[in-house]
Amino acid sequence: MATNFITTFFFCVLVFGTYGIMCQLVPGTYIFGDSLVDDGNNNYLSLSLAKADFPHNGVDFPTGKATGRFSNGKNAADFLADKVGLPLAPPYLSLVSKSKKLSSTNAVVTGVNFASGGAGILNGTDELFKQSIPLTKQVGYYSLVHDELVKQMGSTGAHAHLSKSIFLIVIGSNDLFGYFNKDSKVSKQYTPQQYVDLMASTLKGLMKQMYGMGARKFVISGVGVIGCCPAQRKHNASSECNDEVNYWSTKYNIGLKALLRELKTESSDMHYSYFETYDVMNSLIQNPQSYGITEIKEACCGLGNLKADIPCTPISTYCSNRKNHLFWDLYHPTETISSLFAGFIYNGSQEVTNPMNVEELIKV
């Protein structure tokens, strides 16, 4: 009886809300990354300085309350889940008991979010924020979810489920922020080129581990124009972008695209969709009016210069019109921008989402 249910569940998921009952081409979304897609994992990290479980975060979320998302509302991972007709993936740590075992096992079928604010590809990035879940540990947590799926569905069923699921990876910004931080230790160990090469090679190794545990369809976001976030602009008297950080973001993205091509060559049944975050974000900064944006420099929520001296906290002020701002706080985009990005990821042209968009990826 249970086996039949799981088999049926794989082919046709019961989705509540506006979607009704629909056969799922994407049975699950498994999300890895940093604060751009964290939906509450850091709420469970007692030492973390990178938390968003307080107002004014979540002011535009359906509940109107903060959830741990670094946003006024939903993030890009949430919007992508909406587009493929799946419930929002729960944060992994919300499913874990005090004994560190998965205590809510049914939830893992439609997806899990492993992302953590402050996380990087490389271990040690979290030193900036005292505590986060680096990508290596996120992949380790995924291995436990993989084992649980095998336990529930059997090896064949789990493989079939995971081969059609989406594996979203949004990470790399914190590694670069860490390298160019004035107190950086890694900048004394590596040249910038060596460092971005190390980021790419480390990510490749972790993706191969995920492939070995059933992942076949990857959605990868390049690093954006991070030198133009309010936290970087505020250091310049003219509020201009940090060109050095932006330059090395582009160099990392070149390496990222090369590693994806290598992985595809090595494993023909691995498919991916790469989002040109940098190009889309740069276009938005250069031509904000074409996207309905009027404020590209100042954060919506915060205090001080560009509202970036003090982060978005309960004592901060926030703008009344969040839809015309690029940034919600000193680092993160508004819900409007996250929705825009998710739209490009889902059905954008090859100029911004290549070699295919997610709508095409799920049909492969």
Give catalytic residues, as residue numbers: 35, 329, 332
* Angstrom distance (rounded) from CA 106 to CA 126: 30
* Angstrom distance (rounded) from CA 318 to CA 325: 11
Do residues 33 and 106 lie in contact, with contact meaning Cβ atoms separated by under 8 Å?
no
Residue 285: how many CB atoms within 10 A of its CB? 17
Contacts of 39 (CB under 8 A, 6+ apart): 31, 67, 68, 69, 75, 77, 78, 88, 89, 90, 91, 113, 115
Do residues 180 and 241 lie in contact, with contact meaning Cβ atoms separated by under 8 Å?
no
* Angstrom distance (rounded) from CA 340 to CA 21: 27
* Angstrom distance (rounded) from CA 148 to CA 257: 32
Contacts of 169 (CB under 8 A, 6+ apart): 32, 33, 203, 207, 218, 219, 220, 221
Q: List C-alpha distances in Å: 294 to 146, 248, 285.
A: 44, 27, 10
* Angstrom distance (rounded) from CA 218 to CA 115: 15
Contacts of 1 (CB under 8 A, 6+ apart): none
Residue the block writes with tokens 């979540």: 58
DSSP state of 318: E
Residue 58 φ/ψ region, left for φ over 0, alpha for ψ in the -120 to 50 degree band, beta for the rest: left
